[in-house]
Amino acid sequence: MATELEQLKERVAQIQDLAAVARVLSWDQQTMMPPAGAHHRADQQATIRRLAHELLVAPETERLLEALRPLEESLDPDSDDASLVRVVRRDYEKEARVPTELRVEMARAAAEAREVWVRARAESDFESFRPALERNLDLRRRYVECFDDFDEPYDVLLDDFEPGTTAAEVRAVFGPVRERVVPLVARLRDRDVDDGFLRGEFPAERQAEIARDLVDLLGYRPGTWRIDHTEHPFASGAGFDDIRITTHYDPGNLEFVLAVVHEFGHGLYEQQLPRELGRLPTGRSCSLGIHESQSRLWENQVGRKLGFWRLFYPRLQQAFPQQLADVDVERFLSALNRVQPSPIRIHADEVTYGLHIVLRFELEQELLAGAVEVRDLPHVWNGRMHDYLGIEIRDDADGVLQDTHWASGLIGYFPTYLLGSVMSVQIWEAAKRDLPELDDRVERGELAPLREWLEQHVHRHGRKFLPQETLERATGSTIDPAPYLDYLERTYG
Amino acid sequence: MATELEQLKERVAQIQDLAAVARVLSWDQQTMMPPAGAHHRADQQATIRRLAHELLVAPETERLLEALRPLEESLDPDSDDASLVRVVRRDYEKEARVPTELRVEMARAAAEAREVWVRARAESDFESFRPALERNLDLRRRYVECFDDFDEPYDVLLDDFEPGTTAAEVRAVFGPVRERVVPLVARLRDRDVDDGFLRGEFPAERQAEIARDLVDLLGYRPGTWRIDHTEHPFASGAGFDDIRITTHYDPGNLEFVLAVVHEFGHGLYEQQLPRELGRLPTGRSCSLGIHESQSRLWENQVGRKLGFWRLFYPRLQQAFPQQLADVDVERFLSALNRVQPSPIRIHADEVTYGLHIVLRFELEQELLAGAVEVRDLPHVWNGRMHDYLGIEIRDDADGVLQDTHWASGLIGYFPTYLLGSVMSVQIWEAAKRDLPELDDRVERGELAPLREWLEQHVHRHGRKFLPQETLERATGSTIDPAPYLDYLERTYG
C-alpha cells in the first residue's frame, strides 16, 4: 500500500499545484494584468480548473482510494496519512458528482460575469448585470442538483467554503447575532465621536512605508511576502514561501492600517501551514471561516486595542504629524473604533460588520430557493439595509453591486466572514487562557508567543480536520456566538 | 471529420492555455515573486509541463490526427485547418518520443539549476555551477536519444527553438559571419568615438517615463501592454491582448533605450499574431529566430538610425538636459553605435554581437559531442573570446556564467539570436522594396505602414509554416548571410 499512497500523494500534489497556479493567476489579474487580457485569463483559468477536476475524478483516484481503505482504517485518524486519505476521499466523492462541463461552465461564466459586473458597478446599473447573475445562480442550482445527501440546497454551496457546516448551523449562529446586534447598533449610532482627523491628506507612498513597517512588527518572514496596492484588499499566494497580500492606499483616510493587520492575519496563517505536508491538500488552510478567524483575530483583538496602538501609534504620528500630532492615542483609538453604519461592507466597523453578512446570507438562501427573484434584489437589499442598519441606499453601486462575490459565482462564501469573526473571539479567549498577560505582551511588541500559539493550536492542523473539529481542538468548543456577542457588548456597549 | 477537427482544436487549445500559463508564471518569477517562492514555482512549472505533455501525447491525439489525414490532404496546405493538422502532427510526433518523466526531470533540473546559477554567478564560482550544468547536459543527451531522424545530435535541440533548421544550415550562415566580422571588429575597435556623455546620472523614474513614451511612439495598443523593470530585459505575455515587456533601468547609462525598442519588436509581433487563430498553436509565433528578427529589425533598422533619432532625440534631451543639451543628434548616434568589444553579450554593439553567438553555438556543439568537457568550459570560453573579440575575461561572472540559458537547460537556443539578426536585414530590405521612402516615414513618425507590412508579410502567418518558409514568403529568399554582412560593412566599415 506504500506504492498506492505515494501514487495518491503525487496525484493530489499536482492538483494542489494547479490550485496554487490558479491563485497566482487570479492575483496577477487583480494586480498586474493588462486589462484587455481578461479573455485570455478566462481561458487559462477554465483549462486549469478542467485539468484539476479531471485529475481528481479520474478512475485512478477511486482505485487508489479503494486500495488505501485498509491502511486508512489501520492508522490513527489524526495521523497525516489517514487524514490525507480521508480528505482526498471527501474531495473525490464531491467532485466526482460534478460533470466536467458544468465545472468549466461555472468557471467561465464567473470570469465573464466579473467583467460585466465591473462595468455595471461603475455605472451603478444593476439591470446590465442581472443576466450574468441569473446565469451564475442557475449554474449553482445545477450544481446543487448533482448532490442528494444534504438537508437543504444551500448546504451544498456552503460546504465548498466551510466544509461540513450546514445552513441550519449558520442560522443558529447568525440568529442571535441579528437579535443582539441590531439593538446594539441602534443604541451606539447616535454617539458623538470625534473622528474628523482620520480624514485628510495621507500620501499613498507614506502609507505603503507604514504598511511594510506594520507587517515587519507583526512578524512576517522576509523574502516570502509581498504587499501590493489593489482596489480591494485580499491575501493570496502560491504557498508558505510565496505570500501576497494587498491593500488599498486611499490618500484621503487611514483605513489601510486595519486592512493591513487583517490581511497579515491571513498571510500568517498561510506562512505557518504545515511545511511537512507541503504539496498535499492536508497542508492547505482548513476553510474560509477558519482563515477569516485568523485575519479577524489580528485585526480586532490586536489591531483595535490600546496595547497595540501604544506601541505603533508614535510611528503613525511621525508619518503624518500635521494630522495626528495633537491627537493622543486614546482619542485616535476611539475614532478608529467608531460605530457608524455604512452602506459599504468593507468600510464597516467591528459591530455593524456582522449585519452586512447576515443580510447577504439571508438573501443567498432566498435567491437559491426562488423566494426572491434576481430582478427584485436591489429593492429587497435596500429595504433590509434600512431594517438592520437604519441607512438608506441611494445607489446600487453602494448597495447590491458593491461586492464581487456573486459576480464571481461565489454563493455560500459570505457566511464565512461572520463565522470567522465569531470564531476569532473564541480562539482569542483560548489563547489568553494559555498565554498570561497577552495584552501586555502585545503592548511590548512581543508577538512571537501569539504567533506560535496560533501555529500550534490552529495552523499546524492544516486541512486535516473539518473547521468545527479544528476549532474544537483549538478552543475546546465548537462555534458559539455568545463569546462574540458578549465581547461586542462589553467592548462597545 | 468536422467533429474530429473541433476535438483536436479543443485539445490543443488547452495545451496553448498551459503554455500561456507557463509564460505568465515565468514572467511573475522574474518580476514579482518573493524569492523564497522558487521551490513552489518549480513544482508548479513541472506540473504544467507534465500536463501539457500528457495532453499532447495521449492516444486520443494520435486518433484525431489519423482521422483528420484525409481532410488535411483535401485542403489547400496554406489553409488554416490543413496548417493546424500539420503543425500538431509535427508537435505530436516529436513529443510522443519523449517519456513524461524525462520531460518533467528536464523542467525540474532546469528550475533547480537556475537557482544554483544565480548564486554561482554572484560569487563568480563556476565550479559550484558545474554539476547542475552537467546534469542539464546529460538530460539533453538523453533527450536526443529519443530521436533517430536527424543528421547530427545538435539538430534535435535546435529544432525545439528553430523548427526544421539544422546545425549544418546554421554553420553555413555563421561561418561567413565569423570570417567577415572578426576582421571588421579588429578594424573598428581602435576608432576613437566620444561617448562619455552616455554615462552619468540618468534617474530610473525618468527612464521609465521615456520607455512609456517610446512604446507609445512606436505604436502599441493601450490596455494590452505593461513594462516592468528586471535585471535582464525580456518580452513575454499570455496572448495578443496581454503583452509584457521588461527592461533594465540602470541609472548610470542609457542602455535601456535600445533595449526597449528591441523588446517592442517582440511585443509587436505578439500583438499582431493572427487573432482568428486565437488559442491554436498556429496562432503562436513561428520560431525564436523569427521572433528575434522582429526585435532586431526595430532595434537596428529603426532604433539605431538617424531618422528615428531626429524624431525622438529632443524628448531624450529634454529629460536629461544636463547630460545631453550640448550633444547634437549626430554625435549622440555615433556614440550609441560605437563598436567596442565587451565581455558581456547583452551589452554588445550591433557588429560584435554576432560573434558572441558564434562562440556559444560552437561551444554547445562541442559540449554535446563531448569534444569539450564542462570542467574545461571557462578556459575554452576565455580563449575563444580572445580570438574573436580580442578581449580578456578576468572573471567567470563576466564570462561563461553571464547567461541564464544553459542554467535553464536551453541548449540550442543561442543560435536563434544571430539567425534573427541575419533575417532581420533580409526582412527590412523586403519592406523597403514595398514601402517607398521608409526611412523618411520613420523620421516623420509614420510607423503604421511598417507595422502593417510586418503584420501582412510575417506576423499573420503565425506558426503555420516553418521559419524558413515564413522568411521566404516575406522576402522571396531563405536565410542568407550576405545582406546582413554587406549591411554591417556598409554601415560600419
- State the best of A39, A47, A228, A273 to mutate against chain B, taking most chain B CBs within 10 Å: A47
Cα radius of gyration rounded to whole Å, chain B: 22
Residue listed under C-alpha cell 512576517: A220
Q: B10: nearest CA in chain A?
A: A47
Q: B242: nearest CA in chain A?
A: A37
Q: Which residues of B touch A17 (CB under 8 A)?
A: 43-44, 46-48
Mean pLDDT of B2-6: 94
Q: What residues contact B266, with CB distance under 8 A and at least 6 apart?
A: B235, B245, B291, B294, B295
Cβ neighbours around A72 below 10 Å, total: 19
Q: Which residues share a beta bridge with A247? A: A229
Query: A427 and A297 in contact (C-beta within 8 Å)?
Result: yes
Asked if A14 and B50 come within 8 Å (Cβ–Cβ), the reply is yes
Q: B240: nearest CA in chain A?
A: A37
- State the best of B41, B243, B244, B270 to mutate against chain A, taking most chain A CBs within 10 Å: B41
- Among A163, A164, A183, A161, CA closest to A361: A161
Q: Chain A to chain B, count of Cβ pairs less than 8 Å apart?
A: 115
Write down the pLDDT at residue A358. Answer: 98
Q: Is the dihedral of CA B439, B440, B443, B445 positive or negative?
A: negative
Paired sense of beta strands B242-247 and B235-239, if any: antiparallel
Confidence grade of residue A414 (pLDDT, cut at 50, 70, 90)? very high
Asked if B225 and A25 come within 8 Å (Cβ–Cβ), the reply is no
Mean pLDDT of A338-362: 96
Write down the pLDDT at residue B112. Answer: 87
Confidence grade of residue B204 (pLDDT, cut at 50, 70, 90)? very high
Residue B493 has pLDDT above 90, yes or no: no
| Interface residues on A facing B, Cβ-Cβ cutoff 8 A | 13-14, 17-18, 20-21, 24-25, 28, 32-37, 39-41, 43-44, 46-48, 50-51, 221, 223-226, 237-239, 241-244, 279
Query: B303-313: per-residue pLDDT in tens?
Result: 999 999 999 99
Q: What angle do CA B162, B163, B166 make, to 5 degrees?
A: 75
CA dihedral (A224, B39, B30, A215) in degrees, to 10, reads -10
Q: What residues contact A291, with CB distance under 8 A and at least 6 apart?
A: A266, A269, A285, A416, A420
Q: Which residues of A are tagged catalytic? A: 263
Write down the pLDDT at residue A189. Answer: 87
Three-state DSSP string of chain B: CHHHHHHHHHHHHHHHHHHHHHHHHHHHHHHCCCHHHHHHHHHHHHHHHHHHHHHHHCHHHHHHHHHCHHHHHHCCCCCHHHHHHHHHHHHHHHHCCCCHHHHHHHHHHHHHHHHHHHHHHHCCCHHHHHHHHHHHHHHHHHHHHCCCCCCCHHHHHHHCCCCCCCHHHHHHHHHHHHHHHHHHHHHHCCCCCCCHHHECCCCHHHHHHHHHHHHHHHCCCCCCEEEEECCCCCEEEEECCEEEEEECCCCCECCHHHHHHHHHHHHHHHHCCCHHHCCCHHHCCCCHHHHHHHHHHHHHHHCCCHHHHHHHHHHHHHHCHHHHCCCCHHHHHHHHCCCCCCCCHHHCCCCCHHHHHHHHHHHHHHHHHCCCCHHHHHHHHHHHHHHHHCCCCCCHHHCCCCCCCCCCCCCCCCHHHHHHHHHHHHHHHHHHHHCCCHHHHHHCCCCHHHHHHHHHHCHHHCCCCCHHHHHHHHHCCCCCHHHHHHHHHHHHC
Encoded amino acid at A127, one letter? E
Confidence grade of residue B491 (pLDDT, cut at 50, 70, 90)? very high
Phi, psi for A286 (deg, rounded to 5): -70, -50
Q: Which residues of B touch A224 (CB under 8 A)?
A: 34, 36-37
Residue A1 has pLDDT above 80, yes or no: no
Write down the pLDDT at residue A317. Answer: 97
Write down the pLDDT at residue B385. Answer: 97
| Interface residues on B facing A, Cβ-Cβ cutoff 8 A | 13-14, 17-18, 20-21, 24-25, 28, 32-37, 39-41, 43-44, 46-48, 50-51, 221, 223-226, 237-239, 241-244, 279
Write down the pLDDT at residue B327. Answer: 97
Asked if B279 and A43 come within 8 Å (Cβ–Cβ), the reply is yes
**d(C-alpha B228, C-alpha A322), whole Å:** 35
Q: What angle do CA A482, A157, A460 make, to 5 degrees?
A: 60
- Minimal Cβ distance to A44: which of B20, B226, B237: B20
DSSP state of A199: B
Residue B21 has pLDDT above 90, yes or no: yes
Q: Which residues of A touch B279 (CB under 8 A)?
A: 43
Residue-averaged pLDDT of chain B? 96
- Minimal CA separation from A223 to chain B, in Å: 6
Write down the pLDDT at residue B115. Answer: 86
Query: B47 and A18 in contact (C-beta within 8 Å)?
Result: yes
ipTM: 0.94
Query: A109 and A409 in contact (C-beta within 8 Å)?
Result: yes
What 3-state DSSP class applies to A149?
coil
Q: Which residues share a beta bridge with A244? A: A226, A236
**d(C-alpha B231, C-alpha A131), whole Å:** 46
Write down the pLDDT at residue B423. Answer: 98
Query: B141-197: per-residue pLDDT in tens?
Result: 999 999 999 999 999 999 999 999 999 999 999 999 999 999 999 999 888 899 999
Q: A245: nearest CA in chain B?
A: B34
Residue B104 has pLDDT above 90, yes or no: no
Asked if B225 and A34 come within 8 Å (Cβ–Cβ), the reply is yes
Q: Which residues of A touch B242 (CB under 8 A)?
A: 33-34, 36-37, 40-41
Confidence grade of residue B90 (pLDDT, cut at 50, 70, 90)? very high
Write down the pLDDT at residue A152. Answer: 96
Query: B400 and B186 in contact (C-beta within 8 Å)?
Result: no
- Among B146, B130, B129, CA closest to B57: B146
- Minimal CA separation from A481 to chain B, in Å: 38
Write down the pLDDT at residue B192. Answer: 87
- Minimal Cβ distance to A24: which of B13, B28, B50: B28
Q: Which residues share a beta bridge with B48? A: none
Query: A313-334: per-residue pLDDT in tens?
Result: 999 999 999 999 999 999 999 9
**d(C-alpha B148, C-alpha B133), whole Å:** 25
Asked if A39 and B14 come within 8 Å (Cβ–Cβ), the reply is no
Asked if B223 and A34 come within 8 Å (Cβ–Cβ), the reply is yes
- State the best of A21, A227, A284 to mutate against chain B, taking most chain B CBs within 10 Å: A21
* CA A390 to chain centroid: 26
Query: A336 and A258 in contact (C-beta within 8 Å)?
Result: yes
Q: How far apart are the first and last CA of chain A?
A: 59
Paired sense of beta strands A235-239 and A242-247, if any: antiparallel
Query: B90 and B163 in contact (C-beta within 8 Å)?
Result: yes
Paired sense of beta strands A225-229 and A242-247, if any: parallel
Among the listed residues B263, B270, B292, B362, the single catalytic one is B263
- Residue A489, CB half-sphere, CA atoms under 13 Å: how many? 14
Q: What angle do CA A323, A326, A330 make, to 5 degrees?
A: 100
Write down the pLDDT at residue B317. Answer: 97
Write down the pLDDT at residue A286. Answer: 98
**d(C-alpha A235, C-alpha A262), whole Å:** 9
Outline where A370-459 has alpha helix (H): 377-389, 415-434, 438-443, 448-457
Phi, psi for B327 (deg, rounded to 5): -105, 120
Distances (CA, A) of B226 to A26, A81, B123, B208, B346: 17, 45, 32, 11, 22
Cα radius of gyration rounded to whole Å, chain A: 22
Q: Which residues of B touch A32 (CB under 8 A)?
A: 28, 32, 226
- Among A447, A455, A23, A461, CA closest to A234: A23
**Is residue B162 flagged as an active site residue?**
no
Query: A233 and A270 in contact (C-beta within 8 Å)?
Result: no
Query: A135 and A113 in contact (C-beta within 8 Å)?
Result: yes
Q: Which residues of B touch A13 (CB under 8 A)?
A: 43, 47
Residue B298 has pLDDT above 90, yes or no: yes
Query: B328-351: per-residue pLDDT in tens?
Result: 999 999 999 999 999 999 999 999
Mean pLDDT of B4-26: 97
Q: How far apart are the first and last CA of chain B?
A: 59
Residue B1 has pLDDT above 90, yes or no: no
Query: B182 and B339 in contact (C-beta within 8 Å)?
Result: no
Query: A377 and A393 in contact (C-beta within 8 Å)?
Result: no
A88, three cell numbers: 482526498
Q: Is the dihedral of CA A294, A295, A300, A305 positive or negative?
A: positive
Confidence grade of residue B9 (pLDDT, cut at 50, 70, 90)? very high
Q: Which residues share a beta bridge with A117? A: none
Percentages helix, strand, coil for chain A (3-state, rounded to 5) are 70, 5, 30
B76, three cell numbers: 489547400
Q: Which residues share a beta bridge with A312? A: none
Mean pLDDT of B364-378: 97
Percent of chain B scored above 70 by pLDDT?
100
Query: A162 and A416 in contact (C-beta within 8 Å)?
Result: yes
**d(C-alpha B286, C-alpha B282), whole Å:** 8
- Minimal CA separation from A91 to chain B, in Å: 20
Q: Which residues of A touch B51 (CB under 8 A)?
A: 14, 18, 51
Residue B480 has pLDDT above 90, yes or no: yes
Write down the pLDDT at residue A167. Answer: 98
Query: A137-189: per-residue pLDDT in tens?
Result: 999 999 999 999 999 999 999 999 999 999 999 999 999 999 999 999 999 98
Write down the pLDDT at residue B3. Answer: 95
